[in-house]
A and B are shown apart, each in its own frame.
Chain A
Amino acid sequence: MKTTTFTLTFITVLLTLTVFAAQAQEGLKIQSVFEKYGKQKGATMVVLSGEALHDYRLDKYRSITIEYDKAILNDIQHCLQADKKQAREIKEVISNGIISSGYYQLPAKEDRIHRYILFKMAGDGTATLIYMEGGPESEALINRLFIKRK
């Protein structure tokens, strides 16, 4: 068995391609994470927007890195659990019941706007959550950048 830095006890890799019949919800629970913690001490929130994003068929980019405590961690985990229910593609690492990293592709809004949630907990007590929206071409780009490194 290959020794890796992290000892993972449970890995979930679901490559679900089922299309959800119900219309994709507008409001995602993770949006509340940005709203609640984005501007506080111990948090770094990046919001990219504007013309330049359109060149890459990205409409939205929002990230937050936060020094979490028990309450914040629970909050984020609950939001992820709620939002991932509508995901059409999931790649995540779950360790002892906690999502320690995840990639979620949500159903496209109006068939055109693809949405992605990325999440990772670092060993230094911080967690990073990223939300992106983009056109159909963005999927390949995001896969290349985030999933396949080499």
Chain B
Amino acid sequence: MTTDIHRLLDRYFQGGTTTEEEKTLRRFFAQENLPEEWHETAAIFRFLEDESTALKVLKEIQREEALPVQRTFRLKTIVTVAAAACAFIALLLVLQPGKGSSSEAGSYVWVDGQRITDPAVVQRYAELSFDKVQTENNIITEQLQFMTE
């Protein structure tokens, strides 16, 4: 049994264990009355087990919390390539007074559980979301080019 643990441990420190195998290690080191040679290693595994358990619960709690927390919002500098997207979104929301409020009717953004309807803010968030999806697809075209070369 202990040779198995030694082998598992070796693989663990090589980074080659699966989640199941790591559970096995954690269970082993959770035991009481382990021989002295295991004490340091046991401390590490016990910490990881406890910390991951607690973190899971804390994440759950944060998700369930109704507390609206203002997330600091940082504007990304919009690159020229995304300018087209910005113009697109700006036109979508049509902020000219002549158009009337009905053009923005129904546009909103939920941030951390808070609803915002201010058109300028909604626009910024919409631009951000465009941005997030846009960059990746550049990689697709690059890879396409590579494959057809």
Contact = CB atoms under 8 A, between A and B. Distances in A.
User: Is there any pair of Cβ atoms, one from A and one from B, under 8 angstroms apart in the complex?
Assistant: yes
A123 to B, nearest CB: 11
Interface in B101-149: 102-113, 115, 122, 125-126, 128-130, 132-144, 146-147
Nearest to A58: B92
B133 A118 contact: yes
Interface stretch (B9-17, B22-30, B38-46, B57-65): B57-65
Interface string B68-101: 1100000000000100110010011110000100
A63 B99 CA distance: 25
A120 interface: yes
B79 to A, nearest CB: 10
Interface residues of B, number: 50
Nearest to B138: A149
Given A13-B144, A41-B113, A46 B125 contact: yes
Chain A interface size, under 10 / 10 to 19 / 20 to 34 / 35 or more: 35 or more
Given A50-B104, A63-B129, A91 B140 contact: yes
Contacts of B103: 50-52
Nearest to B90: A52
Interface in A105-139: 118-120, 122, 126, 128, 130
B128 A43 contact: no
A39, A93, A141, A149: residue with the most chain B Cβ atoms closer than 10 Å: A149
21 contacts: A2-B142, A4-B142, A11-B143, A11-B147, A13-B143, A13-B144, A38-B110, A43-B113, A44-B109, A47-B108, A52-B91, A52-B103, A53-B92, A55-B92, A56-B88, A63-B130, A63-B133, A93-B143, A120-B132, A128-B132, A145-B85
